[in-house]
């Protein structure tokens, strides 16, 4: 990464950090783009050079995040059982959201506008995950690997939806682990 790219990334991250702090302090609806730009020490125009709107400051992935989750996928041994790989990837992906997921969750509950925008969150991750799963499929069976992926994603969604509001992020990770273990094909039903 050259100097210009590093400066752009630093500005992107400064804007995001300012937005997250303001959303946490005063709420999503009460925070304006102008306040975010001022807190990040950039102009309104600069804000829009980096983000399409204030929801994007929470929902857009850090420019390096995609490389991180692609590395999570690439690190999985080719001979590792698919379910074990999916468990490691989803746990790693969720763990990387430790600083944003609790805030995103609160914002969804507080703001219908934010909740609507949040639907597209993680779309790129799931597209990459599906491509990775399809690349791991062997033989003529293209159904089972995709089914396993969908079961793992459903387990992650269940962990998120049942995560109590007062429970810390580590509680979510424990819930995710439990959901993945219970959804594992062949796991005994408790």
What is the domain-level CATH number for residue 52? 1.10.10.60
Of the listed ranges 147-151, 156-160, 185-189, the least confidently predicted one is: 185-189
One domain, residues 174 and 81: yes
Of 39, 58, 77, the one marking the end of a domain is 58
Q: What is 46-100 written as a DSSP string? A: HHHHH-SSTTHHHHSPPTTHHHHHHHHHHHS-TTS-HHHHHHHHHHHHHHTTTTT
CA quadruple 187, 93, 123, 104: dihedral sign: positive
CA-to-CA distance for 69 and 120, rounded, in angstroms? 17
Q: What is the pLDDT of residue 97?
A: 87
pTM, entire model: 0.80
Question: How many structural domains are present in the chain?
Answer: 2
Give the mean pLDDT of 22-34.
91
Distant-in-sequence, close-in-space partners of 12: CB < 8 Å, separation ≥ 6: 50, 62, 63
pLDDT tens digits for 49-88? Answer: 999 999 889 888 787 888 888 999 999 999 999 999 999 9
21 and 69 belong to one structural domain: no
Q: What are the tens digits of pLDDT across the range 98-107?
A: 888 888 888 8
Pick the range with the lowest mean pLDDT from 17-21, 25-29, 178-182: 25-29
Averaged pLDDT score across all residues of the chain: 89
* Residue of higher predicted confidence among 2 and 139: 2
By residue range, what is the domain housing residue 70?
65-183
């Amino acid at each position: 990464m050259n100097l210009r790219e590093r400066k752009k990334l630093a500005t992107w991250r400064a804007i995001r950090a300012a937005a997250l702090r303001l959303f946490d302090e005063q709420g999503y609806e009460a925070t304006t783009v102008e306040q975010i730009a001022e807190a990040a020490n950039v102009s309104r125009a600069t804000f829009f050079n980096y983000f399409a709107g204030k929801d994007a400051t929470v929902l857009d992935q850090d420019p390096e995040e995609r490389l991180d989750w692609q590395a999570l996928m690439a690190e999985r041994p080719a001979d590792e059982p698919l379910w074990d790989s999916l468990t490691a990837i989803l746990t790693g992906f969720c763990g990387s959201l430790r600083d944003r997921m609790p805030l995103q969750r609160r914002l969804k509950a507080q703001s219908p506008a934010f909740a609507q925008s949040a639907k597209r969150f993680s779309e790129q991750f799931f597209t990459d995950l599906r491509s990775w799963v399809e690349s791991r499929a062997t033989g003529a069976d293209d159904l089972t690997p995709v089914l396993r992926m969908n079961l793992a994603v459903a387990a992650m969604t269940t962990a998120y939806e049942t995560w109590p509001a007062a429970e810390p992020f580590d509680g979510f990770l424990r819930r995710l682990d439990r959901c993945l273990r219970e959804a594992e094909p062949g796991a005994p039903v408790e």
